[in-house]
Structure 1
């Protein structure tokens, strides 16, 4: 019987496995898809995520990000990450996943090409895919089958938001992540290579990528010269879990619940949750994980939920960027909190 079995070999799952191996635990990962796996992702890592990856011994190539810029067509607000945190990183999802997978392989962590399947708990063990472990980390994504199977899925507030992402072969024009605010959608522009930017769209409206991007005509013109890549989609973004622990099963990453991609902290939150999970497993205290996860995610949940409420309020939404431009010190503090 191993110490920790991880269901899901994405960034959250591999971070759990790497952290567990570095803590001296016997760990294995269940992931039926070969790495690297691409998915809709803003691809901008906050400085905290960069530091967390470095602590795991993971190095991913990308473009340094010096801050966040908000634009709405008339107003612009920009704030650099604090000098104490250093820059963020724009990195393709496949590059990040490949770097994590390489680190796991270097540590000798088995990644088994099979789904978790039914999860069975008995006494001192939990079994999935025929493998017994003291604990199971469910890192199986936004629409986690393990979360649903264990009855941990909770109803999420509406309206639902959806994400689309495409790359364009154009030279980045900024070293910031740009967030372009429209009436009912945002466009996130992240430099991820010398001649490559990622464009992620978040919206409550259904529709294809080109239809959604057309609401930002200045971006359409700017991206026109670049060859477009494949479109990836995700959603609904908001997912809620009743709790993060069910016996010997612990939810981590998007499976633990997700508010929104508005603040670009998905990877940072996954890495923080993975570290908390490994610590609780190492101490044989699964009951402590719920409180540890809440502490690790509290700032993210509060800040993202507040911004999302403003986004959905018809009077407040048009004032988000003007307010950030009018009170730059407050905007810098918010970006510093994200960093």
Structure 2
């Protein structure tokens, strides 16, 4: 329960998709919410900028306006390239998700989501760098955070402040200093990806399909190493496309051992494998290519313990299948808020804790099996001979492509649907969800 010395009912650290979603849902339920963000909007975020139908569904639940006149562009599916062939695959027409995806640059997407949380009642503090957790000396619970105000150049601007609340949500990204500071370290048995992306001028800027290139060659196609990952072209409708590539390994150690210069690989990939008619080349870049780590498969936990919830990249909520994280961050915010609101309706400390712990159960129940299958998938595609066989013999088959689309997009009916949906749902239930 909130005490008189508390500054809010809940403190959310980080105003990315997970943080803004949490803040929106908590504030919409009438809670007093502080949303703390170290940068000032608009700020850049390294991402593919693609939104799957799963992500679009979460935005719709939040009531976020997605008017195409405001920088949103719809897409109808994936154009998949592999083994010298291409397939155009419409997004599945399912009851649970819209039949379209979208794309929107993260520089403005995150700003709009933070503004949406503000409009719902959350108090947004930008240029506020959280430096650590405040713990209750008697119980050991996280009871707030310390934060350093920053000036426009990111330098300290005044004394540190302390904010207190009965619940704190860490949605502060892949490094999550808040979670690390209380001993929640990254797991070394979970996949880790690396992605680079840039913005490029291209005639494909309004193409109705997002593109995935499932063969990622270290050099000339067919004559160099085949890497575990894929390249993408996501049209943004403004004369440019987000173009990038991502590679994934089953553990951080294997990722480090790969020793790949991803920015150089981006130029090589474009020079050798740019889609016909795209006019994509290193010379078409608008700004510089930037990279980031992708924490996958619940690589940090517990998701809730002693007053602190983890959401989004801070909890490793990125799909090992496709590097998608936005949808899961938005979902985590919704589920976290539900647990927090429910906990406040309980009369005893034990009952409140049990309600908060339901966040972990629900997130693992929804995503644990899917992420486990993703870990198996990564181990397979790390083997070049397996990857080559899958591309050569599997992809040309229509039923395999249907599976690929639903696995890559995580768009399948969890209850019902066709036999492919039921097969995927069954697989996610029979594998471990930890």
* Counterpart position of 1:230: 288
Equivalent in 186, 193, 212 of residue 266 of structure 2: 212
Pick aligned residue for 1:45 from 29, 40, 51: 51
* 1:236-251 alignment runs, 5 A limit: 237-238=295-296, 240-251=299-310
Whole-angstrom distance in 2 between the partners of 1:234 and 1:329: 34
Q: Determine the C-alpha separation between the residues in 2 that align with 1:288 and 1:150.
A: 21
Once the two structures are overlaid, the 10-residue window that deviates more, 258-267 or 185-194, is 258-267
Separation in 2, partners of 1:227, 1:214: 14
Q: Give the aligned partner of residue 288 of structure 1.
A: 358
Q: Is the 8 A contact 2:320 2:371 kept in 1?
A: no
Is 1:297 the counterpart of 2:361? The answer is no
SS across alignment from 2:212: strand
Match of 2:15 in 1: 9
Q: How does 1:162-241 map to 2 (within 5 A)?
A: 162-172=194-204, 174-180=207-213, 181-182=215-216, 183-184=226-227, 185-203=229-247, 204-207=258-261, 209-216=263-270, 217-219=272-274, 222-224=279-281, 226-235=284-293, 237-238=295-296, 240-241=299-300
Over 3 Å counting, the alpha-carbon distance change for 1:236 and 1:79 in structure 2 is closer
Q: Distance in 1 between matches of 2:279 and 2:369?
A: 35
Higher relative contact order (CA closer than 8 Å, sequence separation 6+): 1
SS at match of 1:118: strand
Q: Is the 8 A contact 1:39 1:233 kept in 2?
A: no
Q: Does 1:54 align with 2:112?
A: no
Shift of 1:298: 2.8
Structure 1 residue 52: deviation in Å?
Answer: 0.8
Cα separation, partners in 2 of 1:45 and 1:37, compared to 1, 3 Å: same
Gaps of 5+ in 1: none
2:328 to 263, 269, 281: 269
Q: C-alpha distance in 1, partners of 2:356/2:130?
A: 20
Over aligned residues, Cα RMSD in angstroms? 2.5
Is 1:66–1:88's contact at 8 Å kept on the other side of the alignment?
Answer: yes
Shift of 1:320: 3.5
Distance 1:131 1:160, change over 3 A: closer
Cα separation, partners in 2 of 1:42 and 1:327, compared to 1, 3 Å: same
Partner residue in 2 for 1:118 = 132
2:77 aligned residue: 67
Which stretch of the first structure deviates more once superposed, 233-242 or 9-18? 233-242
What per-residue deviation string (whole Å, max 9, x for no partner) do you get for residues 120-172 of structure 1? 23258611121111100000001111221121113324885321110001122
Equivalent position SS for 2:197: strand
Q: Which moved more, 1:158-167 or 1:125-134?
A: 158-167
Instruction: Answer whether contact 2:83 2:392 (CA < 8 A) is retained.
Output: no
**Aligned-partner Cα distance in 2 for 1:312–1:303:** 14
Tell me how far 1:237 sits from its aligned partner: 4.0
* Aligned twin of 2:419: none
Aligned partners of 1:77 and 1:324 also within 8 Å = no
Q: Aligned pair 1:89/2:102, yes or no? A: yes
Is the Cα contact below 8 Å between 2:196 and 2:266 reproduced in 1? no
Distance (whole Å) between structure 2 residues aligned to residue 223 and residue 79 of structure 1? 22
User: What is the distance in 2 between the residues matched to 1:22 and 1:81?
Assistant: 31
Q: Cα distance, 1:206 vs. partner?
A: 2.7
The structural deviation recorded for 1:334 is 4.2
Larger Cα-atom Rg: 2
**Which deviates more from structure 2 when the two are superposed, residues 59-68 or residues 323-332?**
323-332
Q: 1:308 to 1:69 in 2, by over 3 A?
A: farther
